[in-house]
Structure formats: structure tokens, C-alpha cells
Amino acid sequence: MSAELFNLNGKVALVTGGYKGLGLAMATGLGNAGAIVILNGRNEQSVNGAVSELKGQGINAHSAIFDVTDYEALNGKISDLIQQHGQIDILINNAGIIQRSPLADMPVSDFRNIVETDLTAPFAVAQAVVADMRKRGSGKIINICSMMSELGRDGVGAYAAAKGGLKMLTRNMATEWARDGIQVNAIGPGYFATDITAPIRVDGHPFNEFIINRTPSGRWGDPSELQGAAVFLSAKASDFVNGQVLYVDGGILATIGKPANEI
């Protein structure tokens, strides 16, 4: 198999919410595969800090400070990036939020805010990027879904609704744009060891025990384990892969689980 199938040399990748956590891990993977990576976020200091971190690793990294839900400014921000870098070959729609609340108690405004960020914004960013991709006849768009695109869980109904919608948006983007030479796919991360999950990953915490027992791999994922999926879906290797959700979850969605006292 030729290494060229996974070579991203010279490709320009925009990763929304790419300055921390899983977004930064995926951006690092793309950068190590040769891509020029643009990290997006709202906080200039945080984004520039992540850019400096990647540059220290020898990665060609740049910042893009804007809010993905500021739709009035979005087209101008994307146009500026295309003018600056020549084009955007890869878009990873990673920016997202979660708010845990029972649906019966959740204000409509909070529900709407989650859907705006996790579903409407990926549509708006992709729409802003895809016009230039269609002109060139090539491009890769990767939406970051979730296991909640497939499953329900108490307290995350709004997030699950948005991520389930993002799965179907991915399929419809692929349906409409595949003939333009554009592949639109998604990654569905499982439970990963990040700064956000650190408080619940301690020994003895009920949720930590639940995840370890529920995951066939018997552990939390390391963010670096998303890099292979991100590179594959960004590279020539996936040129005939379209409308798919690649779940990187240690096998959770493959099984009903096991009893706690399994023999």
C-alpha cells in the first residue's frame, strides 16, 4: 500500500474548536501527516497557545479567531482564510458544547443554544467552505458526531438530538456534494481521557467504573487514538468513502455490555 494514500502534504485543514481536547489531537494528527492546520476558537489567547504548541512540534499551524455561531460574520471569516491560504481542502467540524439537564426541566433557550452550536453551526461552516471546494472539484468535510448520535442517556437529550441530526446532515451533505468530488463523513468518538473527563476518571467513581465495564476495550480512549480516523477521512485513501460515521469507541456500540459479576 502506498504511503501517498495517507499523505496530506500541502493540504490546508480548518479544525473548528481545534485548540484543545479531541480537536487539538486531530489537528496534531493532520499536521504530522503534512497538512497545514488552522485552529479555530473564540479565545485568542487559548488558540494562539495551541498554535505555538503545534509549531513547537514542527507543524505548520495558524489561528482563526471567530465564533462558529456568528453567522453574519462567518462567510467573511472563511473568505479571509481562503484568501490567506489559497484554499481549504479539509474541514473538521469539531466545535461543540454539552449541557446536562433533564429534558423536562430544560429551558427552550438552552436547548436551542446546544442545537445552534452542535448542528446549525456545522451546517453554516460547511456551507461557507464548500463553495470553493465545489469550484475545485475536491474537498473533505468531517463532522464530529458522538455515540449519542445513536444512543440515548439521561440528561443529554439536547446534545443527543443535535448529534443525531448531525449524523443525518452528514449523509445529506454527502448525497448532494459527492458528484462535486467532495467526501463528507463523520467521526463518532467514544469516551476519551481529556481534561474535561478527569474528575470522573478516578478510581472508585461510579461513572469511571461504568465506562470501563461498558467498553469492550476495558479503558478510556487516548485522544491520540482519533488521529488515524481523522487522517484516513482527510486523505486520498477515503476518496470513495462518503456519508459514513466512523465510530472510534473501543467497541461500545458493538455490544449490549456485560454483567458486573460476569464469570
Percent pLDDT > 90 in the chain is 86
Query: Does 239 have pLDDT greater than 60?
Result: yes
pLDDT value, residue 260 = 59
Helix then strand count (H, E) for the chain reads: 8, 7
Query: Does 10 have pLDDT greater than 60?
Result: yes
Say how many CA atoms lie within 13 Å of 229 toward its Cβ: 25
* Cα(69)–Cα(63) distance, integer angstroms: 17
195: confidence class by pLDDT, cuts 50, 70, 90: confident
Query: Does 204 have pLDDT greater than 60?
Result: yes
26: confidence class by pLDDT, cuts 50, 70, 90: very high
Query: Does 199 have pLDDT greater than 90?
Result: no
Catalytic site includes residue 159: yes
pLDDT value, residue 2 = 73
Task: Find, among 15, 65, 60, 73, the residue nearest to 45 by Cα.
Answer: 65
Cell numbers for 221: 480512549
* Cα(175)–Cα(121) distance, integer angstroms: 19
* Cα(230)–Cα(27) distance, integer angstroms: 8
pTM score: 0.95
pLDDT value, residue 153 = 87
261: confidence class by pLDDT, cuts 50, 70, 90: low
161: confidence class by pLDDT, cuts 50, 70, 90: very high
Query: Does 187 have pLDDT greater than 70?
Result: yes
Q: Picking from 16-25, 95-104, 124-133, 231-240, which range would have the lowest pLDDT averaged per residue? A: 95-104
pLDDT value, residue 119 = 98
Residues 6 or more apart whose Cβ sits within 8 Å of residue 170: 143, 145, 184, 185, 186, 243, 245
If you average pLDDT over residues 31-43, what whole number do you get? 98
Q: What is the pLDDT of residues 100-137, one digit of tens each?
A: 899 999 999 999 999 999 999 999 999 999 999 999 99
Catalytic residue among 19, 159, 191, 247: 159
Domains of the chain in sequence order: 3-245 (3.40.50.720)
* Cα(238)–Cα(159) distance, integer angstroms: 28
Q: Residue ranges of the alpha helices (H) in the chain? A: 21-32, 44-56, 71-85, 108-115, 121-136, 157-177, 206-214, 227-234
* Cα(111)–Cα(84) distance, integer angstroms: 36
If you average pLDDT over residues 138-154, what whole number do you get? 94
Query: Does 1 have pLDDT greater than 70?
Result: no
pLDDT value, residue 262 = 57
If you average pLDDT over residues 83-95, what whole number do you get? 98
198: confidence class by pLDDT, cuts 50, 70, 90: confident
pLDDT value, residue 259 = 63
